[in-house]
Structure 1
Amino acid sequence: MPEPGSCQGRDLVQVGTVTGVFGLKGWVKVFSYTDPVESIVDYQPWLIKRGERQQLAEVAQARCQSKKIQVRMRGYETRDQAEGLVGMEIWVERRLFSALDEDEYYWFELKGLAVVNELNERLGTMDSVLETGANDVLVVVPDPTSIDQQERLIPYVQSEVVNKVDLKSGLIRVNWPRDY
């Protein structure tokens, strides 16, 4: 049986990182991976960890200033206490996320999937997403079985470029020539 505050046996998603301290009363700066950034505080409790060190944390107060999040966690009342949190990753249970419609995905679900084109050529592995304004762009990095060692930026435009996402097979099928 997993220990309380343990990652073992849980389906966890990293949603942010503690990047610094703010003020003297235990506040920390948080870099949020959520969109919108302030929604990170809606997912509770947090499991914060660095290496083997991990613990459950509860947000006591939060504020957003210029798309930056500042948080005070329960039990952290001083700057010295808060400094121990800097660099810790913030994880939450996957079950806290809303269910999506068919053909909608959270970006973290696509990370690590193989990307193949219509000729069944493996272009690489989906690594991350760039938000460009017009549409999101998949960053596809080479892997040991890809056709070459080229990093590719592939627009995430459903039906036109991204033909199919199959989470069970671990595959994203794209309409994208190898020489783009």
Structure 2
Amino acid sequence: MTADSRLILVAQIAGGFGVKGEVRVTAYTAEPMALMAYGPLLRADGSVGLTLTSARPDKNGVVGRAKEIATKEEADALRGLKLHIPRDRLPAPDEDEFYLTDLVGLQARDPAGVVLGAVRSVQNFGADDMLEIAPAAGGPTWYLPFTREAVPDVHIADGWLLAVRPVEVGEREPD
């Protein structure tokens, strides 16, 4: 799968709304109404999950009608369904900007240029984004905070980022 055909998580079905078959969708996009512009929202396997035909903003996303849902019960049955779009449906980022998903697969290099591993995923456990790094030498993955201090340089086009590992508790900083 090419980088531009990867599926990007953009929303999740929260369940039915009202009694007339509307569905509540939690949006993971900066602008929730953008879900209408993306076309059919896909399941993780690439099949169509939800096609919004109308929507209005809601506190966590949108409430709307979908081609696949006629009743509240049908909407509730899809609760929890994660909805994706192909990466190429997202607008191109501004210069010097990127999507977090574009970090996946980049080499993580230390300040001396040594390859530490590759970005396996970007996670957020509630505080800040964390890069999950799969070590080049194998073994368990480790996490790097996605902050300016820990990742001062990102070179998407060249396929790498600079990774400055934080000093572990009990370690001394190099002289």
Q: Which amino acid aligns with 1:143?
A: A
2:21 matched residue in structure 1: 26
Quick one: structure 1 residues 139 and 20, their matched pair in 2 at CA, closer, same or farther if it must change by over 3 Å? Answer: same
Residues 51-100 of structure 1: per-residue CA shift (max 9 Å, x gap): 58x22643122222323432321352211332343333322233332222
Quick one: structure 1 residues 44 and 22, their matched pair in 2 at CA, closer, same or farther if it must change by over 3 Å? Answer: same
TM-score scaled by structure 2?
A: 0.69
What is the alpha-carbon distance in structure 2 between the residues aligned to residue 75 and residue 152 of structure 1?
39
Aligned residues: 163
Q: Which runs of 5+ in 2 are unaligned?
A: 169-175
What is the alpha-carbon distance in structure 1 between the residues aligned to residue 97 and residue 90 of structure 2?
13
Q: Which amino acid aligns with 2:58?
A: Q
2:95 matched residue in structure 1: 102
The Cα shift of 1:126 comes to 5.3
1:58 matched residue in structure 2: 51
Does residue 122 of the first structure (1) align with residue 116 of the second (2)? yes
**Identical positions, percent:** 22
CA RMSD of aligned residues (A): 3.4
After the TM superposition, which residues 137-148 of structure 1 pair with which residues of structure 2 at under 5 Å, given as runs? 137-145=128-136
1:35 matched residue in structure 2: 30
What is the alpha-carbon distance in structure 2 between the residues aligned to residue 16 and residue 103 of structure 1?
26
Q: Which runs of 5+ in 1 are unaligned?
A: 1-9
Is the CA contact 2:109–2:117 (under 8 Å) kept in the aligned structure 1?
yes
After the TM superposition, which residues 158-173 of structure 1 pair with which residues of structure 2 at under 5 Å, given as runs? 161-173=150-162
